[in-house]
Copies of this chain bind each other. A is one copy, B any other.
């Protein structure tokens, strides 16, 4: 037996998220199906990040175990021939048998894209959140400074999360505008349920002037989900990549 690691990119538009579920097509489900077909035996992958319905990825990570002789790097080609066009393996390789993408210490980077202009652009609609009120990127940037570091992010944790602690570490958080596209990029050691989308939703309320940048500090300290902004839509979010230590 050996363990194979996969870097998986996908367009989440047409999926009920990463994780296998009884009703609905998922990315993990498609991966398991194609791997099982390829290897002629039931295969179950273990993923690093259970992205939500509609969320995209450039570099989610999954592993599976197999006794097959195929060299690790060949799985990318073999799987891409079977997978639907909106899922593509970027890399496959043999990894240590004790490597588990969910329980190994890692740093994830997410990107949240906001198209900020008068009217939507059809070719951007699936991969960004359209927002037509003016946004002040400087204010959004000031607000992010309160979030970097180790904090209790309870205010930015979606309902239904089952976690012992809501303390997490954000190592970097940037807001950039290029023409009409505002990109929020956040790197951290683990994230709470919906955390990036709630941060994005809160930054929108600061960028549009509804709250001053300083409000972010109070929102963080309140440890109250009600204090933060709404959960921004899934289509704007992409898991860029994961770095393991």
Contacts and interface: CB of A to CB of B under 8 A. Distances in A.
Interface string A70-97: 0000001000100001111110000000
Interface stretch (A42-50, A115-123, A141-149, A167-175): A115-123
Nearest to A89: B119
Contacts of A125: 11, 85-86
A198 interface: no
A87 B122 contact: yes
Nearest to A86: B122
Contacts of A86: 122, 125
Interface in A1-22: 9-11
A11 B123 contact: yes
Contact of A122 (B88, B121, B122): B88
Nearest to A118: B90
Interface residues of A, number: 23
A108 interface: no
A127 interface: yes
Contacts of A9: 119, 121-123
Nearest to A80: B119
A197 interface: no
A62 to B, nearest CB: 15
Contacts of A119: 9, 76, 80, 88-90
Contacts of A76: 119
B85 A123 contact: no
Contacts of A118: 90
A244 B87 CA distance: 42
Contacts of A89: 119
Interface of A: 9-11, 56, 58, 76, 80, 85-90, 118-123, 125-127, 238
